[in-house]
Structure 1
Amino acid sequence: MSVLTSYRLRLQRKRWRIRAWRKRRELVPVADRTAQIAPDDILLFCTFRNEAVRLPYFIDYYRKLGINHFVMVDNASDDGGREFAEAQPDVSLWTARAGYGNARYGIDWLTWLQGKYAHGHWALTVDVDEFFVYPFCDTRPVRALADWLDASDVRSFGAMQLDMYPKGPVSQTTYTAGQNPFEIANWFDASNYIMTRNNRLRNLWIQGGPRARVFFAGKPKAAPALNKVPFVKWQRNYTYVSSTHMILPRGLNLVYDQSGGEKTSGLLLHAKFINLFQDRAAQEAARGQHYGAGREYQTYASQHDRDPDLWCKWSEQYINWRQLEVLGLMSKGNWA
């Protein structure tokens, strides 16, 4: 990397940290329990809006995985989701009524909170429809993964987003609060992924899966990115670049083996495609607060009447993480 490029990236990181410092004024504390955070706690960071139905299972899933404290931002929910999160004893909650898009899609708010509370902690940053799966997650808590990464002198952990979907039209699923979404959306694409390398930031750019196959079939390069770096040993000078797709300093994006081997990796099972999907797509397309003024959601909403069936004859039914490793979607690397 040239000296000029290095300087520009450092300047960009500094500028975004200053931006997050300014955006802190948009955050209003609702339930600040951060005094409970112990020095070695593993933290989860998340923004949400109108997710009352999803939040019960989300919180329960990550508690069982070993998350010690949740640091969350509610973006003006009016469905009871804020009240549910506020009542949880291990959740620190802020609310923000400002525009999600104007806060770099919530990243400005989280950058401020991560810099203030996550320094020196392993921090997992996810959406409420993403569920972290890593090698041995059925028998080892996330603390075991963090300890192994610390012992290996690794500061970040990659996880591709894996879209899960039902067999049949999405609208015909019925999801209730507290339910495991993968009881009804338990199919995925085992292949159909492309990867390119972003030499400037060193991350892999991954696209494909059912969204590329169905919604972006005629323009696959416009399909959503699936590469993420959600689990990081946080330092206060870090910042995400675009959601959790990329991060600075750019060395944290090297979550893959450049020599052709395999680094330990995981997946984020993505529970977007259940019966909540179509109404949410229409709402977010109208709000225009997501990336590209909601372009992705506009694509979804344009197919609202079609009620897409994402299942195809090449779909695989989900069993466990070992199946995903056999299929080459994740790897335990040298973690025995």
Structure 2
Amino acid sequence: MARPAAPDLPPLGLTGAYRMRWKRRRMLWRALRARRQMQKVADRTRNIPEDPLLCFATMRNEMTRLPFYLEHYRSAGVSQFLIVDNGSTDGSTEYLAQQPDVSLWQTRASYRESRFGVDWLTWLQIRHGHGRWCLTADADEILTYPYADSRSLRDLTAWLDRHGVAAFGAMMLDMYPKGWLGSHSCTPGGDPFETLNWFDAEGYTWEYLERYGQISIRGGPRKRLFFLDNPDFAPHLHKIPLVRWNRRFAYVSSTHTLLPRHLNSVFDARLNLPSGVLLHSKFLDEIIRKSAEEKQRRQHFTHAERYDAYYDGIMAGPDLWYPGSVRYEDWRQLEQLGLMTRGSWQ
């Protein structure tokens, strides 16, 4: 899959630059207010080492995934996790509070009204992430990258530092089982990708969006099965999960888009930057129950009414596998398929 080159960022002009600056300030002001919604459960930030790699996440009821998630990122070089628990009832809160490298906050405030947890995390990044490499990854997002079997994320961030690069892009790849959704279980704490070991290798669109200067990626089984008639509603798959943070930075839309605008150029082919893939474990057997719950909670989409048919489709337990599905092997396979690149990191 050939990566497109984004055109040079057009000048915003005085009015455009002013609007972007004030938008970023509004995002930061929202984060400042949102800090009042969080209560400390376990604060171990005094143990953060010099020049750390920090991982930030908002979670709710992720006990099935948490042990694997923590071990994966510990092995990759994460120094400490800063997690906001949004009202878990499955033991996640208690489990996280016991982990010696987790600092935990809790809130029962609206996930949707917090810009899907971004306001809470932005405050923690302002407070603890300034000048540090910060990874933002949900419990169902497992980052793989070039040389993941022999080099750590600290090796990657060292390379990015040497080349003056402040952000690393990754495409989210929906992983799924062969067979009906809901019929394949994963042992709590186990590797979800022993169950979810298929993905779409083709059918992705890459589109340059001028406003924020990013390349939008769409495709995969969700677009193929649920949004074929409304492709503009299909989930965005481009993300910027790893950033050398500055307290003046702000995510605009989940981890898809950042301000300042120049940080969104991570997929521009002309820059020859490495990129990764976020293996997405959304489609474990619990997806049926969670979809029914989220359809009622209406916390996961700005225009929730547009996605009722999507939730209904998931709850029907379809088989996402099709003859074009590819069985997952490793990062080299993803690179060969054009879903990630080493760029000039050799």
Q: Output the TM-score relative to the length of structure 2.
A: 0.94
Q: Distance in 2 between matches of 1:276 and 1:58?
A: 17
Partner of 1:4: 15
Q: Of the candidates 203, 209, 212, which is equivalent to residue 223 of structure 2?
A: 212
Between the aligned residues of both structures, percent identity stands at 47
Structure 2 stretches lacking a partner, 5+ long: 1-10
Aligned AA (2:104): L
Q: Output the TM-score relative to the length of structure 1.
A: 0.97
Aligned residues: 335
Residue 248 of structure 1 and its aligned partner are, at CA, apart by 0.5
Q: Of the candidates 280, 285, 294, which is equivalent to residue 284 of structure 1?
A: 294
Q: Distance in 2 between matches of 1:127 and 1:55?
A: 10
Q: Does 1:89 align with 2:100?
A: yes
Q: Deviations over 1:127-170 (max 9, x none)?
A: 10000011001110110000000001000000010000011112
Q: Distance in 2 between matches of 1:38 and 1:298?
A: 45
Residue 11 of structure 1 and its aligned partner are, at CA, apart by 0.6
Partner of 1:106: 117
User: For the aligned residues, what is the CA RMSD?
Assistant: 1.2
Question: Do the aligned residues in 1 keep the contact of 2:291 with 2:315 (CA within 8 Å)?
Answer: no
Aligned AA (1:31): A
Q: Deviations over 1:77-128 (max 9, x none)?
A: 1110011111100000000111111111100000000000001110000110
Q: Secondary structure of the residue that 1:38 maps to in structure 2?
A: coil
Q: Does 1:303 align with 2:313?
A: yes
Q: Does 1:41 align with 2:52?
A: yes
Aligned AA (2:165): V
Q: Distance in 2 between matches of 1:151 and 1:8?
A: 32
Q: Does 1:71 align with 2:60?
A: no
Q: Distance in 2 between matches of 1:319 and 1:262?
A: 24
Partner of 1:226: 237
Q: Distance in 1 between matches of 2:72 and 2:279?
A: 12
Question: Do the aligned residues in 2 keep the contact of 1:39 with 1:121 (CA within 8 Å)?
Answer: no
Q: Of the candidates 303, 313, 320, which is equivalent to residue 330 of structure 2?
A: 320
Q: Secondary structure of the residue that 1:272 maps to in structure 2?
A: coil
Question: Do the aligned residues in 1 keep the contact of 2:176 with 2:196 (CA within 8 Å)?
Answer: yes
Residues 297 and 130 (structure 1), Cα distance of their counterparts in 2 relative to 1, 3 Å cut? farther
Residues 129 and 295 (structure 1), Cα distance of their counterparts in 2 relative to 1, 3 Å cut? farther
Aligned AA (1:193): Y
Residues 295 and 56 (structure 1), Cα distance of their counterparts in 2 relative to 1, 3 Å cut? farther
Partner of 1:129: 140
Q: Distance in 1 between matches of 2:272 and 2:292?
A: 40
Q: Of the candidates 57, 60, 67, which is equivalent to residue 56 of structure 1?
A: 67
Question: Do the aligned residues in 2 keep the contact of 1:281 with 1:298 (CA within 8 Å)?
Answer: no
Write out the 4+ residue segments of structure 1 that deviate beyond 3 Å after TM superposition. Answer: 293-297
Residue 308 of structure 1 and its aligned partner are, at CA, apart by 0.9
Q: Does 1:155 align with 2:176?
A: no
